[in-house]
Chains A and B, each alone.
Chain A
Amino acid sequence: MTAKTTKFVQGNEACVEGALYAGLDFFAGYPITPSTEIMELLARRLPANGGKFIQMEDEIASMCAVIGASLTGRKVLTATSGPGFSLKQEALGFAVMAEIPCVIVNVQRGGPSTGNPTHVAQGDVNQARWGTHGDHAIVALTASNHQDVFAMTVEAFNIAETYRTPVILLLDEVVGHMRERLTVPEAGAIPLVERLRTSVRKGVDYHPYLPRDDGRLPMSDFGGVHRYNVTGLFHDMWGFPSDNPGVVHGLIRHLMDKIENNAHRLAHYKTYHLQDAETVLISYGSAARSALHVTENLRARGERIGLMELQTLWPFPAEQVARECGHAKQVVVVEMNTGHMCQMVRAALGPPARVFLANRMDGVLITPTDIKAHLRLIAGRGV
């Protein structure tokens, strides 16, 4: 990885390239369509790069293995799809509570249950937000093309290491399996974040959960010079369980605030033709490709339409959506579920905003024709 290289790859492979670029050195997983290529490629690439690859007995064990490896100082990844993502939720909550950096890729397929394994869906958006129990904050990113899959994968690692949090990368079957060009930038072109490590020396008390003034918690590689406790229970600054109401309240506020207070730094999105747009499409993942197709097509015919493509889904970029869509006559959310992001857009814009859902959830990528039909209906012109 020195000079930049052009490749012809699947989205799943673009994710692998991004992870290796970001410094991935531990992967544990269990194969599942449509994410399997991530694991298959890393089985070859990661050991050759000096990293460790383990196929675990199931998705739960995979999630636990990456948590353990991250504590020892590794940059870690696991990859799955809907059914496996469901299994990972409990351990994902542990990673939230114990503040363990890790990246979880969910290449979405149709659900619930085993659902529609080889077909596209975006039905796990709310699961990414609220799949694990209890109040918590989470980061979830997505992408619609391979260059962005690469960039968002690198960003996922950077965010995980900066904020000591799990980061979910929500891809989908179309993006994961589609093949197109990827240019891997030269080493150093994208800044990489290494986690903050404690300067406390051996033999001196290290408080693993004592935030600095800026709210950050320096880590000490587990198994190294410091002994400390890690638990899923509410815990004090030594990492030992506590039900002291002050400790409990302080920790839950800390877990929320470290993400929510940085929402503006975490908000990634792209805009197309928004300056004078009367109709704004909001979309993400593979659906955004169809939305962009429609935007370019109708612009060429003189219609005042624009697109806001979300790349950060959680924390939801409410302020950015309000700013970009404030002047629109109508906002149409294009997604392949029952309206997970549409709900958030409605809440962000408030009444009397005209927010509509243009969706499809039959395993087929929403087409430009579908979107145009929705737009005509909204305009009262019939399909």
Chain B
Amino acid sequence: MTQRHRIVFSGSGGQGVITAAILLTEAAVLHEQRNAVQTQAYGAAARGGATRSDVIISDAPINYPKVNQANFLVCLTQEAYAKYAPLIRPGGLLLTDSRFVTTQRKVDAVQRELPMYEQVMEKIGKPVVFNICVLGAFIGLTGVVGMDAVEKSLAQRLPPAFLDMNRGALQLGYRLGHND
């Protein structure tokens, strides 16, 4: 059986959910030479509304590009949590931010609530890198893609002036996830 990671990042438009998913997938494709596909579902508004991005990383070719049952689910708002928590596969991992999401139901999955937003504000002070911290925490928890590969993607996509701050957020998240 080939290994296939089915990942869903969800939150609110403007939080950077789709960007985090793109960075993760790009790292897998360009820097680890794996098969990976990223899609998204969002409404017509630029900000607000439930946003979702699906990522599949696999050794085998990927045809159907969406995720119906997620091994890994990230929810960054209460609305996204309410809407997408049922997607989690039994035995999967659900990551939420403790400031934005109060977990309610018992799901048959490992639940991790991390203070990612709080740590970003305390250590970096810029909410704009929250999504990169989430990505770091996700890598720290799951290891589905190497940190090296994600850092390369960051360096390729971001203007040099913002790279250090983003790298800091990525590592901050990684430590939160890895030590949890």
Contacts and interface: CB of A to CB of B under 8 A. Distances in A.
Contacts of B40: 177
6 contacts: A8-B25, A118-B44, A179-B26, A180-B36, A289-B64, A293-B64
B68 interface: yes
Contacts of B111: none
A118 B42 contact: yes
The majority secondary structure among interface residues of chain A is mixed
A119 B66 CA distance: 13
Nearest to A179: B38
Nearest to B36: A180
Contacts of A355: none
In this complex, the interface size class of chain A, counting residues with CB under 8 Å from chain B, is 20 to 34
A289 B62 CA distance: 8
In this complex, the interface size class of chain B, counting residues with CB under 8 Å from chain A, is 20 to 34
**Most chain B CB within a 10 A radius of its CB, from A6, A33, A289:** A289
Given A8-B30, A178-B39, A367 B66 contact: yes
Interface in B31-62: 35-44, 62
B29 interface: yes
Contacts of B65: 174, 178, 180, 286, 289, 365
A279 interface: no
Contact of A367 (B29, B30, B43, B68): B68
A180 B37 contact: yes
Contacts of A289: 63-65
Nearest to B65: A178
Contacts of A179: 22, 25-26, 37-39
Contacts of B22: 179
Given A180-B36, A181-B35, A367 B64 contact: yes
A7 B157 CA distance: 13
B80 to A, nearest CB: 17
B29 A181 contact: yes
A290 B29 contact: no
B26 A296 contact: no
Contacts of A185: none
A72 interface: no
Interface in A176-191: 177-181
B29 A365 contact: no
Contacts of A368: 64
Interface in A247-289: 286, 289
A117 B41 CA distance: 11
Given A179-B26, A289-B64, A174 B39 contact: yes
A142 to B, nearest CB: 16
Contacts of A286: 65
A292 interface: yes
